[in-house]
Structures are given as structure tokens and as C-alpha cells.
Amino acid sequence: MLKQRWVGPLILIAMLVYGLIVYPSLPERVPIHWNVNGVADNWGSREMAIFFTPLLGALLWALFMVAPRLDPLTITSPERFSYAPFMDTILRYGSLMMIFMAVVHVITLGIAMGWPIQIGNAIMVAIGFLFAALGNEMGRLKRNSFAGIRMPWTLANEEVWRISHRVGGRAMVATGLLSALAGIVLPQQTGFIVLMVLVFGWTFFTLGYSYWVSRQVASRAAPPTDPAAS
């Protein structure tokens, strides 16, 4: 279902409907930003609270719809790069992002209405499950300059791209699940540090691993040295 183009707009409409339903229950000043201690440090109007996240989500969904047509790779080399084989994956990415935005929307408005939610822990759990879901889809991505591990060595070779995204996707799932667990069992500040360590660790691992794979592939492709020539 997540690969359907109507999923994103439907989630955005549901976010707006939810905001309008709870609008009378919202205070005049609604918290819209929290510091690392989970304490609100910025406020906005009720109108801003119910419309900002859906509008941001709409812009993000539009990006997922338009980006494949603007990708320089598909414009300059349409015979080599095409989104058609994996457009379902791009749509799933977009739908998962919309679900994440909806969760954040419900959490922030719920806190404004007095729900007993620790914002930091709740967002860490949401980010963790988003990471895990996106990682589960990563192995299906084909070469493009919009989503995935977009480095010169991955874009230059289909095999390097495929191996990097298969392993990177698994690592991303593990990172996401560990991040969600940290959000559940650890205090807010400690959990945030763990989240940052996990995300940066995954980033450096995938970049380093993909480069190592590129060197391995290049060494196999290199012609053998002729001893007589030396």
C-alpha cells in the first residue's frame, strides 16, 4: 500500500483533520520547540501548530514526486539511469516520511493538550523506527542522485552501489532498532547521545564500507600485470 501515490496526500489530509479536531482543546500558546532536556523553549500560535507540520510534509512529498524528474543522472544519461525500476521504493520512502511527520504532529499537539509524553524519548523512538523502515527498503534502490549512499564510487559502478546498499540497509535497520530501544529504556539526555553516536557511526561505516567495496571491485577489474613488461 505504501507504494501508492495517494498514500502521502491521504496522510497529509488526516494530519489537517486531526489538527482541526483538536484545535479547540489547544492553548493559545503552543510549544513548537524543545531543548535537549525536553523543556519547551519556543512557542507559537494554535494556527501555526496545526498547519506547520502538514505544510512541511506537503513540501517534502512534493520533493519526492518531482526529484526523479530533476535528477541530473536521468537527464544526462536516460539510457543508463531510470527511476522506473524502483519508483515503488521511492514512493515507499515518501510514505514512510509522511507517517513519521504524522507521528510528530500527533505527539506535539498531544503534549500541548497535556498528554504525559516525554518529547525527546518519543521522537527518538519515532526516528528509530523510521530508520529501520527506510533501511529495510534501501537494498531496493538503484543508482540515482536523490536517495541512498550517493558517493562518486557508488554512482560510478552498479556492483558497488548494490553491495553497499545491501549491507548499508541492514546496518541502518540495526541502527534504527537500537535507537528506538534507547528512546524506550534510557533517560532523554543519554538516549539523545546514544542516538547521535549510532547515526554518525552508521554514516561513517557505510561511507567507509562502500569505498572499500569500490577498491575491491576496481582491483578485480584491473588487467593483470605482465611480468615481462617490468
The verdict on 68 and 146 lying in the same domain is: no
Q: Would 227 be classed as within a structural domain?
A: no
Strand partners, 40: 34
Q: Would 206 be classed as within a structural domain?
A: yes
| Domain final position from 90, 117, 144 | 117
**Do residues 202 and 172 touch, judged by C-beta distance below 8 A?**
yes
Nearest to 93 by CA among 172, 204, 203, 177: 172
226 three-class SS? coil
82 three-class SS? coil
Burial call 47-58: b when 16+ CB within 10 Å, e when fewer: eebbebbbeebb
pLDDT number for residue 134: 93
The verdict on 188 and 82 lying in the same domain is: no
The verdict on 1 and 113 lying in the same domain is: yes
Which pTM does this prediction carry? 0.84
Q: Measured between alpha carbons, how far is 20 from 114 in angstroms, rounded to an integer?
A: 17
Q: Would 123 be classed as within a structural domain?
A: yes
Asked if the model's pLDDT at residue 135 lies above 90, the reply is yes
The verdict on 123 and 159 lying in the same domain is: yes
Q: Would 230 be classed as within a structural domain?
A: no
Asked if the model's pLDDT at residue 180 lies above 60, the reply is yes
The verdict on 46 and 104 lying in the same domain is: yes
CB atoms under 10 Å from CB of 159, counted, come to 14
| Domain final position from 100, 117, 134 | 117
Q: Would 13 be classed as within a structural domain?
A: yes
pLDDT digits (tens, 9 = 90+) for 69-121: 777 777 777 767 777 777 888 888 889 999 999 999 999 999 888 888 888 88
The verdict on 214 and 104 lying in the same domain is: no
Strand partners, 89: none
Q: Which domain holds residue 204?
A: 119-220
**Do residues 68 and 147 touch, judged by C-beta distance below 8 A?**
no
Q: Measured between alpha carbons, how far is 85 from 143 in angstroms, rounded to an integer?
A: 11
Percent above pLDDT 90 for the chain = 41
| Domain final position from 71, 92, 117 | 117
- How large is the average pLDDT for residues 148-161? 89
The verdict on 1 and 87 lying in the same domain is: yes
pLDDT digits (tens, 9 = 90+) for 9-28: 899 999 999 999 998 998 88
What confidence category does residue 142 fall into, taking pLDDT thresholds of 50, 70 and 90? confident
Q: Would 102 be classed as within a structural domain?
A: yes
- Note the Cα 51 to chain centre separation in Å: 22
Q: Which H or E element spans position 163? A: helix 158-185
Nearest to 36 by CA among 195, 175, 181: 195
143 three-class SS? coil
Domain count, the chain: 2
Please state, rounded to an integer, the average pLDDT across all residues of the chain: 86
The verdict on 213 and 139 lying in the same domain is: yes
Nearest to 141 by CA among 184, 200, 88, 196: 88
Q: Would 229 be classed as within a structural domain?
A: no
Contacts of 206-213 spanning 24+ positions with Cβ under 8 A: 206/149, 206/164, 206/167, 206/168, 206/171, 206/172, 207/149, 207/151, 209/164, 209/167, 209/168, 210/149, 210/151, 210/153, 210/154, 210/160, 210/164, 210/168, 211/151, 211/153, 213/160, 213/163, 213/164
The verdict on 128 and 67 lying in the same domain is: no
